[in-house]
Amino acid sequence: MDCREARRMIRRYLAGEGEKEIEKLKEHTAVCEKCNRFYEEALKMERIIADVLSPIKDSPTERIMRRIEDVRSLHRRWRRSIHFIIIIVFVATVVMFLTYLALSLVMPRIRVQREILLIRDGVSSYIRSGGVLPESETEAVWAVVKNEEWAQSERLDRERRQYLDPWGVPYRLLRQPDFWMIVSSGKNRRFEYGGGDDYAIKIPRLK
Amino acid sequence: MGFFVSGMDDREAIERVLSGDRDAFRHIVERYWRKVMAVVRQRISTAEDVEEVVQNVFLRAYQKIGQLRDVRVLAHWLYQIAQKCSVDYLRRKRHQAWTSSEEVCTILDEKEAENRKEDDMSFEIRDAVASLPTKYREVVMLRFIGGMSCDEVAEYLGEPAGTVRNRLFRANELLKMKLRNLFKGEK
């Protein structure tokens, strides 16, 4: 191998080619000081330039693998969070539904118990203020309730002059010889004179 | 030369990654990070930004490796991702650095000005590379930073290998001339 051929091979080698011919090249540079220096200088220049130009000096492999792991665990956490959120939403929905069911069962009873007390107080003050209640059982309640703030307007039946309980049946004022009684027919909507599931409260007879 | 670190080939590494062995991806990173860095460096200048984009490239590659249909185009696929990530990053950060292969190296930022004070040799080398015509600078960056062979550079640039070899030779001669004084002082 002559020097011209050797330098051609050095250039090829430095260009990332001709690695198979490196042994032949080594044989030549071992005996040719000039070519050896040419090779060393070219190699040195390439390494220095590569080092100067390279924006990342050390291998970023570990940092990349760590980042991949971070993103994976972030996704895992996110997936877990999503599952958690779905479960929370499901449980909340079930709880809300059950609460609604419970309230829809309980609320009318609470309301009717409260309203009966208010009607009783209304009747007492109506009589004390010298008012005369209508003869009709339902109209007597109407007369007491119609101007009260607590009365729910949608249950004030202005046409028939009645105040309806939460199940849509009018309250009544029963007048007995010894006492009066305010009655709601209850959930079964059947008037049972204060018995059965009726809600009722007695008032000492008022004059 | 070359930066191969183990006997595992790309196909085996990808198969292992796909079968859940995350660690096998380390071999792909180790094998290609320099080349990817060289591609990213074509558009992005600062070291921190380059590192971030290189990380983004491999992260995206890891997430989409199942979409790679042919293992033989792995390098090309990674370069495409690198270009996309670089563009995305530039768009996001609105960086005006080494914006395209036509304008590469024309901008010396403050950091490089600082380098000049700290390290004259680095500055002279950067300056020498920056002053090369684009077609030479491109091959120098891909070859020196990325450690790509002439064939790989040719494939990446879509040029004949002979042309790339000549450009690299010519670029080397120009650099040697520009940096003659510098390397004489080094001896």
pLDDT tens, position by position, B99-148: 444 454 544 455 555 555 556 777 788 888 888 898 898 888 888 888 88
Question: Helix (H, G, I), strand (E, B), or coil: what is residue A75?
Answer: helix
Average pLDDT, chain A: 88
The pLDDT of residue A77 is above 70: yes
Whether residue A95 has pLDDT greater than 90 = yes
**Which residues does residue B156 pair with via DSSP β-bridges, in sequence order?**
none
| Inter-CA distances, A205 with A61, A180, B93, Å | 95, 6, 88
Per-residue pLDDT at A68: 92
CA angle B173, B178, B182 (to 5 degrees): 115
Q: Tell me, what's the pLDDT at B5?
A: 41
Q: Is the pLDDT of residue B2 over 50?
A: no
Give the chain A residue whose CA is nearest to the CA of B154.
A15
* pLDDT, average across residues A26-48: 84
The pLDDT value given to residue B40: 92
How many other C-beta atoms can be found within 10 angstroms of the C-beta atom of residue A130?
Answer: 6
Closest CA to B139 of B160, B125, B154: B154
Residue of B nearest to A37 (CA): B187
Residue range A22-44: mean pLDDT, rounded: 84
What is the mean pLDDT of the segment spanning A60-68? 92
The pLDDT of residue A91 is 97
DSSP codes, A5-62: HHHHHHHHHHTT--GGGHHHHHHHHHH-HHHHHHHHHHHHHHHHHHHHH-S--S--HH
Indicate whether this complex's ipTM tops 0.85: no
**Interval B21-76: pLDDT, tens:** 888 999 999 999 999 999 998 888 788 889 999 999 999 999 999 988 888 889 99
- Listed in sequence order, the DSSP H helices in A54-169 are 61-128, 137-145
Q: How far apart are CA A131 and CA B151, in angstroms?
A: 111
* Binary contact (A65, B126; C-beta < 8 A): no
**Residue B23 in 3-state DSSP?**
helix
For residue B19, the one-letter residue type is: S
Higher pLDDT, A169 or B47: A169
Nearest CA in chain B to A65: B26
d(CA B10, CA A176): 100
Closest by CA position to B143, among listed B128, B153, B158: B153
Q: In a mutagenesis test of the B interface, which of A10, A13, A20, A54 is the best target, namely the one with the most B β-carbons within 10 Å?
A: A54
Q: Which residue has the tokens 């495409």?
A: B80
CB contact under 8 A, A59 and B183: no
Higher pLDDT, A101 or A18: A101
Question: Predicted confidence band at A82 (pLDDT cuts at 50, 70, 90)?
Answer: very high
The Cα of B47 is separated from the nearest Cα of chain A by a number of Å equal to 4
C-alpha angle B101/B107/B112, rounded to 5°?
120
> Residue A52: its pLDDT value, please?
80
Mean pLDDT across A93-99 = 96
Out of A46, A56, A61, closest to residue B50 by CB:
A56
**pTM as predicted:** 0.61
pLDDT in the model for residue A200: 93
Tokens of B134: 């684009």
CB-based contact, A71 to chain B, within 8 Å: yes
Residues of B in contact with A60 (CB under 8 A): 29, 33, 51, 54-55
Measured on CA atoms in the order A19, A23, A28, A33, is the torsion positive or negative? Answer: positive
The more confidently predicted of residues B83 and A22 is B83
Task: Give dist(CA A150, CA A181) in Å, integer.
Answer: 20
Q: Is A8 on the interface with B (CB under 8 A)?
A: no
Report the distance separating Cα B111 and Cα B117, nearest Å. Answer: 10
Closest CA to A151 of A111, A110, A197: A111
Q: What is the pLDDT of residue A35?
A: 87
- Both tokens of residue B28? 């792909």
List, for residues B136-176, the tens digit of each pLDDT value. 988 888 888 888 888 889 988 998 988 988 898 888 888 88
* Res A183 pLDDT > 90: yes
Q: pLDDT for A139-148, tens place per residue?
A: 999 999 998 9
The rounded distance, in Å, linking the Cα atoms of B186 and B118 is 17
Contacts of A20 in chain B (CB under 8 A): none
**pLDDT (0 to 100) of residue B117:** 52
